[in-house]
Amino acid sequence: MENHLDILAVIGFKGTTIDGLILHPDNEHIIFPLGNQIVVRNVLTRNQKYLRGHDNDISVICVSNNGKYLASGQKTHSGFKADIIIWDFETGTLIHRLSIHKVLIQALSFSFNDNYLVSLGGIEDNYLIVWDVLSGKALCGNTAGTDVVNSVKFCNTKDDQIVTCQNYGVKVWKIDYINKKIIPTDVNFGNLRRIFNCICIDPTDTRAFFGTKTGDIIEVDLENYIYKRIGPVKRLFSQGINTIVNLPNGDLIVGTGEGVVAKVGYFELKIKR
């Protein structure tokens, strides 16, 4: 008699999507893209469900702060529109399909109150759009400029301010919902020149940290739009910093292109471990 093995779970996480492995706010589910679908896996029961709605590989995902919504964006072929989908996390149903950007969705970010979603198109699009989550309507938009934009983030206490990092600069954008405009202000870096990959905004929205392609961490004063300091002290991260997050005590966790995860102290910007 043949022995039979029962499949408990299947994991196909590639790790190619930046910030593509997400722990849901309920601390019970992990979410990640797998080709053109999203895997939602319960880490306690090991049950998995799949969200299907994209017709090409998913390029970015993000979860709303209250955990109610999930947003995902895809890539497509040159000249075609790339869809964004807003999902109901609890039921796994598609709420809105948003189709304005072309070729690629580069980044997505929910506002702190989950009323708005900002989307960023890829290099062939390079457009910023702010969406109303409830209605699925585009409220305002603006070209991100001539420089390629790599990431966008809503502030943590304001739903009318977003931050973008470009190949060679950082912009702070003010959203005017009444006049339907997004107005940028450039951060002054003086003679400092870096390619900025990722953004981490302090919980008070007074400062932000940026990971660069050369492996630096750069701190910016968001209230005065100026560069403050650079780290880590005495060491750069090989192959750049791809992702960066805040810890409750102010320290930073960074993930690098060489596969290193490091903890960096806030006060001196030194590597702790």
Q: For residue range 60-108, what is the model confidence (pLDDT) as tens digits?
A: 999 999 999 999 999 999 989 999 999 999 999 999 999 999 999 999 9
- Residue 268 is assigned to a structural domain of this protein: no
- Residue 76 is assigned to a structural domain of this protein: yes
- Residue 138 is assigned to a structural domain of this protein: yes
- Residue 259 is assigned to a structural domain of this protein: no
- Residue 218 is assigned to a structural domain of this protein: no
Can you read off the two tokens belonging to residue 222?
């968001």
Q: Which domain holds residue 22?
A: 7-145
Mean predicted confidence (pLDDT) in 143-158: 92
| Residues above pLDDT 70, as percent of the chain | 97
Show Cβ contacts of residue 153 under 8 Å, excluding neighbours closer than 6 positions. 109, 162, 163, 164, 199, 201
Q: Domain count of the chain?
A: 1
- Residue 158 is assigned to a structural domain of this protein: no
The two beta strands, 170-176 and 181-186, are: antiparallel
- Residue 156 is assigned to a structural domain of this protein: no
Whether the CB-CB separation of 30 and 41 falls below 8 Å is answered with yes
For 257, phi then psi, to 5°, come to -65, -20
CA distance 109 to 131: 10
- Residue 77 is assigned to a structural domain of this protein: yes
- pLDDT, position 2: 62
> pLDDT, tens digit, for every residue of 213-233?
999 999 999 999 999 999 998
> pLDDT, tens digit, for every residue of 179-216?
999 999 999 999 999 999 999 999 999 999 999 999 99
CATH number at residue 114: 2.130.10.10
